Structure 1
Amino acid sequence: MYSSLQLGDSSHKVTDLSANPVMRFYYTPRVLTVFCIGNEVFFISLYMLHFMLDLSATWKAWGLVAVATFPIAAMKHIIHGVQLILACQQLGRLDTINRLEKVK
């Protein structure tokens, strides 16, 4: 978000066609919705499992939900790493441009 602010973008979700293909795919409305909901359901299921002490059918159901949504949550965190790398690269380019302008 900071790099978007520095670049003057209206939102950190704004991506142009030359942007990283992973980010273009991630920020399509349906994909972003699936990733956000899947991530939240994963952490809710972990929360529920933490407070259930017995191995009831409910515990097993939450366990299945956690297993099913783990890949979505893991991919969301990997994509956050990609976002961090891209933001660092953008800030580096912006800093280089600003330093070159000061030298002139």
Structure 2
Amino acid sequence: MAFGINRKEVREWKQKINEGEIAFLTHFWLDDRFPGCRTVTKVGCSDLDKLAVWGHKYGLKKEWIHHRRDGYSHFDLIGDRQKEILQKEGLHHHIW
């Protein structure tokens, strides 16, 4: 279950993706499969090769991309890996 984001933030994330940028969207999230994790960061890009190269530098596999028919394919970052990647990207405001 996702919460803690608004439509403007989602629109801005989608716009960046549409422009071929690597885009980040962090929101609160609860899933019983991941106890102790309370946020997820979705990292998307319309250029899937660019997204795969970005992910590779953090040890993320191309097959881990969540492919979406609507064009907003993305990696899901959670837990310690999420925090580590956001810190390396300088996105401290995404760390809650």
Whether TM-score is above 0.5 comes out as: no
TM-score range, shorter chain: under 0.3
By relative contact order (CA 8 Å, sep 6+), the higher-ranking structure is: 1
Bigger fraction of residues in strand: 2
Normalised TM-score (structure 1)? 0.21
Whose helix fraction is larger, Structure 1's or Structure 2's? Answer: 1
Q: Which has the larger radius of gyration?
A: 1
